Amino acid sequence: MTATPAGAVAALLFGLLGIGAALPATPIDAALSESAPSAVEEIDEGTVSMTVEPDTLVKPTAGTDVHLTVTIANRTTAAVDGITVDASVNRARLSSTSALSDWLTAAEGSIVAADRVGTATSTSIAAGDTRIVGMTVPEAALGFAEEGVYALGVRLLSDPAAGDSAAGGSASPDSDSADAELVDTELVAEARTALTWKTAATSPLGVAIAAPLVLPTDAPGLLDSATLAEYTARGGVLSVQLDAMLGSQVAIGIDPRVLASIRVLGSAAPTSAVEWLERLRTASNPTFPLAYADADITTPLAAGSAGVAPLSFDFAVDSSLFAAPDASESPSPEAGTPTTEPPLAPQPTTESLTQWNYTYPSFVWPTENSVTSQSLATIAAAAGPVLLSSDNVARQLTAATSKVTATVTPAAGVEGGANTPVVVADAQLSSLLQEAVNSENTAEWNSAMSELSAVAAVSSEEAGTAAPTVLATLDRTWFDNRYRLNETLQALFALPWAAAASVVPAFDVNTSGGPVPGFTSLAPAAATIVDAVADQSRIDKVAALLGAEAADAQFATIAADPLALTSARRLDLLAVLSNSWLDDPAAWNVTADAFLADSADIRNSVQIAPSSTVQLPADRGFLPVTVNNDLDQEVTVYVNVRARTPLLSVEEQFVQLVIEPRSSGRARVPVVSLANGEVQLTVTVLDQPGGNPIGQPTTVELNVHAGWETAGTIVFGVLVFGIFAAGIVRTVRKRRKATRTAE
């Protein structure tokens, strides 16, 4: 958890266990203030933060004290001296989930915890150290008049003058001396939690859960055999998740990338992967598809795309790993003849690689809090019910309406808008479930479980005698630590106020807007979309990714098999758009930039080779143009040459050139010289005659020695010589004639 500087408000989303935010040293108040900052998910360097872990999720038996374990992390460069941990409560019961949320998030106008119930002391905490402090709160000190959920706050106080003189221990919370001892102390950090002081519930809260099978952020568009073997082995990321889901009522969101990656390997697929796929196939859990690579579907819409889906997998299919398409059926082996190898599967198609017998094949789950009225209309027009976060909708909830299903009325001006059935996940409960499942250690897990206990308890109270049901989801971001789904569900559903529920009635939402069959008599709530706040920088980056892929597709038209190139790039793009990146935008930007760089490299893989000055000694000839092809397949391009001066005439405007993979080809462009001199030529490679340029145009220097001009000069010289010779002959004849006349 991150502690934040004073004045910032961070999210304290926990129940019995709280994570506090660091504050600058100030004189303490008499109670935990309304403006107490709350914690977010990681601890910032340069702060002091703390967590508090209770020893129970329910009201203990009569006469039993409550034990709190406080963990203090000093991430500053100075020691924290004279440690005192002060716990206080508000003895008024929290009667609504909104009041509970306001308390935990320190919202403006939230209640305060003014009644001190426990104090513990400790010695100084050196810079960079972590200290664990125990605190015992007597049952009588809590003073709760009835069962319910109560606000509990913890403050970390420091007395710089005390140094290391303070000894660890507890002080009586009601003594005058305890108050006197705290007068000169400074507030270092504080935390907010909720204490569930209950033993039973009139009507337990039914919690239905939907969870995705998540892959690491760096997983490519297709997983190779080694990666699949690792992920599906015992303890592998896919096996751990599936193990936790099997045998429960959790609805499983399946990434088609996993299916395609296993199936495309045919007989070379790892045994563990094949077995994992069979376990998934035989699971009793409801299933629904995620987008391929669990890609973000709303940001591409905002960036102008009509949708992004795989194009083909043919480039990745090795036909030797599958049965020949025209292979006749093999004869049955004779009785008693053992068969050692299973028959090869038929060669797959793009459709068969991702096909699955989903319980809800048209279900759509956009990125959390990413939907707008327009994007919902676009998505709903192409698919079935849509799963949204409760933060993304405004609902008119009544005692007669469901908290899980809703019918969204389109906003005015939405193109193609219509009443849209949606399934709504409780945002607060989902967040707490995620924290518990991905907790790094027991303290964090206990914190999240305390939150879940408090929220479930208050939610069940709000419903009165009805049988309330809510939906919680695990998000799609990658987890770097443990996956505690099993123990989380066991602990949650062991509480008297929480019970496991199935998603099936909610996912079977009645598109007519009436009550859902089998889902009591509650009708979907009327709702409108709370438009997501656009992240323009992300939209711009996704638009750049889409533009790069479109440029790649145009470039690929020169290849012998364009689809092999574009299909692979599409899968790479989908992997970059995966929701698993959402918690790490900095790393996502790096990955997106790498995709853009790869696109540029691909489009530069066919280039005109550098050339020295070319000599043209005759009136006609061929200009040689060498083009390099760094692709793994043959390409066909057209070479265009344009002279910048009229000293040269190009006889063929577009010269076709076929270049083998990883090689060079030379085009011979016919030219005619018109005069001697140096000519600059612009040479361009095109994807088709008059089409789009491939690579960068280049300039070639050409020395022209025009053949007709030399011949003309010779003729002119001969003529001049002839005239002079004729003149000489005439002169000689005249002189001879004059001599004969004189004689």
**Within a domain: 232:** no
Count the helix, strand and coil residues of the chain and give each as a percent rounded to the nearest 5. 30, 30, 40
90-99, 523-532, 711-720: segment of lowest average pLDDT: 711-720
- Phi, psi torsion values for 229, nearest 5 degrees: -60, -40
Q: Which of 544, 568, 603 is the last residue of a domain?
A: 603
User: What pTM value is reported for the model?
Assistant: 0.82
**Within a domain: 473:** yes
Residue 431 and residue 515 in one domain: yes
**Within a domain: 352:** no
Residue 172 and residue 86 in one domain: yes
CA-nearest of 224, 217, 295 to 253 is 295
Residue 99 and residue 59 in one domain: yes
Q: CA-to-CA distance for 138 and 63, rounded, in angstroms?
A: 8
In tens, the pLDDT along 84-110 reads 899 999 999 998 989 999 988 888 888
Residue 490 and residue 529 in one domain: yes
Res 12: pLDDT: 26
Res 596: pLDDT: 98
23-32, 501-510, 551-560: segment of lowest average pLDDT: 23-32
pLDDT band at 18 (very low <50, low <70, confident <90, very high): very low
Residue 516 and residue 647 in one domain: no
Residue 396 and residue 543 in one domain: no
Q: Of 183-197, 250-264, 490-504, which has the strongest mean pLDDT?
A: 250-264
Q: Which amino acid is at 327?
A: A
For residues 451 and 331, which has the higher predicted lDDT (pLDDT)? 451
The parent domain of residue 461 ranges over 364-533
In tens, the pLDDT along 457-480 reads 999 888 766 668 899 999 888 776
* Cβ–Cβ under 8 Å, residues 643 and 681: yes
Res 14: pLDDT: 27
Q: CA-to-CA distance for 526 and 443, rounded, in angstroms?
A: 40
Q: CA-to-CA distance for 299 and 592, rounded, in angstroms?
A: 14
Beta-bridge partners for 171:
119
Buried b (16+ CB within 10 A) or exposed e, 558-583: bbeebebbbbbbbbbbbbbbbbbbbb
Q: Output the domain CATH number for residue 132.
A: 2.60.40.10
Mean pLDDT calculated for residue range 636-645: 92
Res 717: pLDDT: 62
Residue 679 and residue 739 in one domain: no
* Cβ–Cβ under 8 Å, residues 473 and 425: yes
Residue 89 and residue 35 in one domain: yes
Res 470: pLDDT: 92
- Phi, psi torsion values for 67, nearest 5 degrees: -105, 130
Residue 129 and residue 159 in one domain: yes
In tens, the pLDDT along 301-322 reads 999 988 899 999 999 999 999 8
Mean pLDDT calculated for residue range 501-509: 79
169: left (phi over 0), alpha (psi -120 to 50) or beta: left
Res 345: pLDDT: 83
Residue 516 pLDDT > 90: no
Q: Which tokens is 655 given?
A: 């010269």
Q: Which of 510, 533, 556 is the last residue of a domain?
A: 533
Res 327: pLDDT: 53
Counted domains in the chain: 5
Residue 613 and residue 575 in one domain: no
Residue 71 and residue 142 in one domain: yes
pLDDT band at 612 (very low <50, low <70, confident <90, very high): confident
Q: CA-to-CA distance for 669 and 639, rounded, in angstroms?
A: 8
Q: CA-to-CA distance for 608 and 145, rounded, in angstroms?
A: 85
**Mean pLDDT across the chain:** 82
Q: Which of 147, 169, 196 is the last residue of a domain?
A: 196
Q: Which amino acid is at 212?
A: P
**Within a domain: 276:** no
**Within a domain: 482:** yes
**What counts of helices (H) and strands (E) characterise the chain?**
18, 29
**Within a domain: 101:** yes
Residue 544 and residue 686 in one domain: no
